[in-house]
Structure formats: structure tokens, C-alpha cells
Chains A and B, each alone.
Chain A
Amino acid sequence: EVQLVESGGGLVKPGGSLRLSCAASGFTFSSYSMNWVRQAPGKGLEWVSSISSSSSYIYYADSVKGRFTISRDNAKNSLYLQMNSLRAEDTAVYYCARDLKGPQTTWGQGTLVTVSS
């Protein structure tokens, strides 16, 4: 069974840092591009970042560029999101998602990040 499990969320103060992880299982992780998508409380979905299967191509939304870093470790079947200089508006459930283009799209259950003093 294909599974994505996020972890690392929590409460952090403005200006602080947090590292999210996404553990993948049930498929050949190294063959797929991966993404982070977030959803602020009561709001819609917002694409955050994408990374290609071999990490050759990386993209960020303007709202997080320069503050967030996406990475992956194919040997560990894991995706990461390093979040620095966090702001209140970064408060959201963060989902990792496999391949947002086609039938293989799969989402994790999400991890909540709360930025508050």
C-alpha cells in the first residue's frame, strides 16, 4: 500500500525554524517527483515546493522562497522541508504529495505547523 506519513510539525515562535519529514512506503520513492502543499486553517490549498526524483529540479512558491528548503533522501525514502524565518502566515497543515500531475497522485495525512508567540 502506498503511504506517505508526515512528521515534525508543532508550535514555533515567529522567526523560528522547523524541519518537516515525510516517510514514504509502498512504492519506488526514487522514481517520483514530490511536493509540499499547505492549507491554512479554514483556507484553500497552496502549493509550496516541488523536487524532482533525482533532486535536479527544485521549485518554490514566491511566498516561501529564500526561507524554505526542500530536499529528499532516496536511500531513506524520505522527503524534507526545512522551514526558517517562520511567520504567522505560515501556520497551516503541511501535506506531502507524490506526483501532482497524474494518476499516481497520493497525499499524506498532513502535519500541523503553528507559528505563534
Chain B
Amino acid sequence: AQSVSQHNHHVILSEAASLELGCNYSYGGTVNLFWYVQYPGQHLQLLLKYFSGDPLVKGIKGFEAEFIKSKFSFNLRKPSVQWSDTAEYFCAVNGEGNMLTFGGGTRLMVKP
């Protein structure tokens, strides 16, 4: 069975700091990978996605993620966070049978 692990449950940063959120998955077959963001009281919205090709993918709002197949990782990065990035971030894998599994989420707080 596939699973997703996000290492950081809570992250607190100051504005302009760099961000990296870890994500590892377990599934030996072909995968599609996603990062979603959930602002307080809202539903999940797609930040970026990896299907194939260039393992470095760029998403909205200056976010990017790198797929490292050998490490089963898909870490999310942003060079300079803003207060408006305060939200919860979810990594997800689409693998076996098109089942979409999410990690436990990382709550990011950006201090102004």
C-alpha cells in the first residue's frame, strides 16, 4: 500500500525566510505527485504537480518542488515566504489504482 510522510508538522518562519517542506512516499511503481495548500477555513487547492519530465516543477505563488526518484521524495520549496503563505500544506501521491493518498500536512506560520 502506498503512503506519504511529511516530516514537519509545524513550521514557523519570519517573512523573507526560505522554506523547505519534506515529503517522502512509499510506492515502487509509477507515481504522480502533488502539493496542495489549505488556507484557514477553505478547501484544498493545488500548488503544483509532477507527472513526468523535468523533476523540478514550478507552481503558483513562487513555489517549486523537486522529485528525486531515488529518494522517493518530493520536497516543496520557496525562496522567500510571505505572511500570506500562512496555511497548511499537503503532499499527495497518486499511485496504485489511481488512489490519491495525502500526507499528514504541515502547518506553516509566517510571522510578519
Judge: A and B partners, yes or no.
Answer: no
